[in-house]
Amino acid sequence: MSEVQWFCRNAEEWDAMAERLKLIPCPHCKVVGTLNRHGCLYGYDENNRKQKTVRARRVFCSNRNARPGCGRTLSVWAPTKSDGSA
C-alpha cells in the first residue's frame, strides 16, 4: 500500500492545515477541494506504554457524493515529544 505522508510539527500546525484542506490539491490526483479529515492513527507513547497518543491524522480524498476525488488517503504525521527524533 503506497500512501503519501505529510508532516506537521504540532497540533496548531495540523489545525491550520485542516482548515486549508479544501484549498490543498490531493497529492494523488491533484484535485483541489476533495480532501477531508478522516480520523486519527493512534500509537503508544514510548515512555508510557499505557498512554495512547495520536501518531498521525488521516486525510481522505473524497470520491463520494459526486466528488471528483480519488478515494485514497494520506497520513499527516505529528512528532511526539517522547520519540527523541525531533
Judged by the rule CB under 5 A, the positions of this chain that interact with Zn ion are 26, 28-29, 61, 69-70
| C-alpha dihedral (15, 2, 35, 85), degrees to nearest 10 | 10
Minimum CB separation of residue 14 from Zn ion in Å reads 19
Closest distance of CB 23 from Zn ion, Å:
14
Q: Closer to Zn ion at the Cβ: 32 or 54?
A: 32
Name the minimum Å distance from CB 40 to Zn ion. Answer: 20
Q: Where are the alpha helices (DSSP H) in the chain?
A: 11-19
